């Protein structure tokens, strides 16, 4: 889902402590590359890569990561 021009929500469906959960990292396109916000869990980087690929993006496009919590 595009939240604003160049800002995409990336819903991730993951297993968290034996329960299914949806996390929603955000990708912001900047002139320098992607800024990824709240990227999810360390063991789920493949799921994040798949979500980016669904939007025509790649982890290789990322130039920064912002973790808010």
Which of 42, 35, 43, 23 has the alpha carbon at shortest distance from 59? 35
Residue 35 is predicted with a pLDDT of: 97
Could you tell me the pTM of the whole model? 0.84
**What sign does the dihedral 69-67-8-49 (CA atoms) show?**
negative
Mean pLDDT, residues 23-42: 92
Residue 40 pLDDT > 90: no
Task: Write the secondary structure of the chain as one string of H (helix), E (strand) and C (coil).
Answer: CEEECCEEECCEEEEECCEEEEECCEEEEECCEEEEECCCCHHHHHHHHHHHHHCCCCHHHEEEEECCC
pLDDT band of residue 37 (cuts 50, 70, 90) is: very high
């Amino acid at each position: 889902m595009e939240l604003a021009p160049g800002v995409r929500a990336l819903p991730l469906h993951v297993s968290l402590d034996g329960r299914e959960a949806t996390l929603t990292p955000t990708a912001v396109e900047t002139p320098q590359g992607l800024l990824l916000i709240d990227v999810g869990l360390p063991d789920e980087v493949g799921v994040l890569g798949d979500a980016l690929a669904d939007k025509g993006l790649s982890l290789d496009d990322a130039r920064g990561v912002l973790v808010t919590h």
